[in-house]
Chain A
């Protein structure tokens, strides 16, 4: 598995290119040759049923899986937000956000990142004192503070209640508009994919089975008839009867 991070950027270059990514756990093939490219500032949703290998693919792209084959190159910097917040319980919120960060301006950057997710006043709190939604917002701040070119999101709101999930989706849309990062959003939630993504990839049968651009404009609501049509189409592809 060749995985590298290119430092110098040229404008037209995609932020992520992956080619012929394969992964098997023993005799079970999970990914049988996946090709993937994400443009600068583009949000791509990776949809698939549970066990379809979408989280496996994200872990490979994040460089966390040493046993996959194929190539995956991130041109620039990447940061990951996992399904669980994965904050270190022994570090206060600000120290968690600033984990591995260096430079004289680090405290200021941490403060700004926390302010952006609306938790500026909680910087001294321990992770155990936060609610699930707050902890996940800190995890988003921890990723944002690194000013990534690419954000890898592994079902980031999957463990949250429905209301908190809606708020987090709005927050992510706002942050994306401000920072212009590219993102790969792994999700099994069709509506979430339609709300956030510019393009949707369907992972099925160990490969990318379909690709679907989402031309719904910047302000999207599920009430939009075009939204409903795409939703039905996607659910149909996923094998969920809609009527």
Chain B
């Protein structure tokens, strides 16, 4: 009898050990949902009981209903697509320019001396404050919105490309040289992967800046886009559409950030090497 209990005891321990944290973790995750859910519920109740005037802040269920209505008749889709196009074009232009200049400044001493000082000076300008000047330069059309997004995306990508290249351990480059790697191969095997974590950080910050620039840009004489939808709704005091626009902006930021996180986790597995085993 005592023998069986001795044999069985270790099995029980190993079987029980993983169960305990597995039960605790979902409990904690649910606990984190409590306060946001309570806030939304409180908001809904306050709106329904008339505590919040509908023209100041409509009930979340009304905002949701408006969202459904606008996506059914296609309005939301059209505006969303236009906003996404602007963000994409601006990110691409600003990002590529920043990547090129950051690489030149990071890799070459001459590039550093010529490119970095003006960029450092320009960084001090709040790019959203450039709107009046940009209107004079490029007008109030599409190019204004795209320039604004490109400007917002440029600086985080430039600085993180530069820092990512500068932070690479010189000793690793040297080791690669002793392994017979030429300049191009060193760029591919040492510099690019070494700078990649910084590039990801820059891209994440740039996407945040891109959405922010878009919010401002789309409020200047836009005929389409989420920002236009909100400005138009304000004219007619459609508070539900204004709140819906805000929610869409928030969702866009959330989705792009988590997509990038997933990509980062895939491409930077080596950084989690210790945890993976």
A residues with CB within 8 A of B: 62, 64, 78-80, 82, 84, 86-92, 99-100, 125-129, 142, 146
Contact = CB atoms under 8 A, between A and B. Distances in A.
A91 B192 CA distance: 12
Nearest to A95: B189
Interface stretch (B83-91, B168-176, B203-211): B168-176
A142 B179 contact: yes
Interface residues of B, number: 24
Given A82-B171, A84-B171, A88-B190, A99 B274 contact: no
B176 A99 contact: yes
B137 interface: no
Contacts of B261: none
Interface string B147-177: 0000000000000000000000001101111
B274 A128 contact: yes
Given A82-B171, A86-B172, A88-B172, A100 B273 contact: no
Contacts, number: 65
B130 interface: no
B180 A129 contact: no
B189 A88 contact: yes
B60 interface: no
B194 A90 contact: yes
Contacts of A82: 171, 175
Given A84-B171, A86-B172, A90-B194, A128 B179 contact: no
Main secondary structure of the interface of A (DSSP, over half): loop
B193 A90 contact: yes
Contacts of A62: 178
Interface string B241-276: 000000000000000000000000000111101101
Contacts of A92: 270
Given A62-B178, A100-B180, A88 B193 contact: yes
B176 A100 contact: yes
B49 interface: no
9 interchain residue pairs of minimum CB distance: A126-B273, A86-B175, A128-B273, A90-B193, A100-B179, A80-B178, A100-B180, A90-B270, A99-B179
B201 interface: no
A127 B194 CA distance: 14
A146 B277 CA distance: 30
A100 B270 contact: no
A91 B171 contact: no
Contacts of B194: 90
Contacts of A64: 174, 177-178
